[in-house]
């Protein structure tokens, strides 16, 4: 149920897409790999295991042998990942986020890399802390110019957020 609901319901996958699964040789991941193949998706699985023949994916890698997870993912997903079925959390999730495509979906089924950590080691998604949020305002000066600004919205003249500057304080 975890595999089925996560893949088909949470990620609403119903066509060929680029799918990545962590903990890919265990109960859940192994099923997700097969579901992905059954609808013509390209699937890549990761595990700390060397016997690649055991993977039911198009491609696979051993995350324990990869010095740089984001780079490893990039070699398998040149155009990015549509669906990440996350069984592990932690550093792998960070690396995956760097490789996701637009309109992607992530099913957070489990975070096994985090279960035994104490509070001081708790994982937070690094990228959120490191991202610089850019917020652009297109400022038009004076209330008397508000109609122009409003009309501009419907003609696409504004650059991102249109603001009318009424007073400087
Ligand atoms: N089974 C279920 O019914 C079910 C239901 C809901 C959610 N879940 C969640 O789904 C995930 C997978 O469950 P599962 O039952 O398929 O597998 P599992 O038996 O819980 O997975 C065990 C495997 O996880 C990997 N692992 C352990 N510690 C790790 C770490 N620190 N970093 C990276 N990998 C680690 C190891 O595989 P490698 O040797 O390959 O690294 C280990 O053999 C888990 O997070 C679980 O909590 C499971």
Q: Whose CA is nearest to atom 33 of ligand 1?
A: 113
Token code pair at residue 20: 């990545």
Q: What ranges do the domains of the chain cover? A: 2-124, 134-169
Helix, strand, coil shares of the chain as percentages rounded to 5? 40, 25, 40
State whether the beta carbon of 29 lies less than 6 angstroms from ligand 1.
yes
Nearest atom (ligand 1) to Cα of 28: 16
- The enclosing H or E element of 100 equals strand 100-108
Short-list 122, 123, 168, 116, CA closest to 142: 168
Cβ(63)–Cβ(48) under 8 Å?
yes
CA 116-118-122 angle, 5° bins: 95
pLDDT of residue 132: 55
- Topology of the domain comprising 2-124: Rossmann fold (3.40.50)
Beta bridge partners of 163: 139
Question: Could you tell me the pTM of the whole model?
Answer: 0.79
pLDDT tens-digit map of 101-153: 999 999 999 999 888 887 767 666 665 555 555 667 889 999 999 999 999 88
């Amino acid at each position: 149920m975890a595999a089925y609901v996560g893949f088909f319901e949470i990620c609403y996958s119903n066509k060929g897409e680029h799918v990545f699964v962590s903990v890919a040789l265990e109960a859940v991941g192994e099923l997700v790999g097969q579901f992905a193949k059954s609808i013509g998706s390209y699937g890549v699985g990761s595990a700390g295991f060397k016997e690649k023949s055991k993977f039911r994916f198009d491609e696979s890698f051993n995350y324990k042998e990869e010095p740089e997870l984001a780079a490893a993912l990039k070699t398998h997903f040149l155009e990015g990942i549509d669906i990440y079925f996350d069984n592990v959390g932690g550093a792998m999730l960070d690396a995956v986020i760097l490789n996701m495509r637009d309109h992607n979906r992530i099913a957070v089924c489990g975070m096994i890399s985090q279960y035994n950590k104490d509070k001081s080691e708790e994982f937070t998604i690094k990228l959120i802390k490191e991202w610089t949020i850019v917020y652009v305002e297109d400022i038009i000066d004076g209330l008397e110019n508000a109609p122009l600004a409003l009309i501009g919205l419907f003609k696409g003249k504004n650059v991102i957020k249109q603001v009318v500057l009424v007073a400087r304080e």
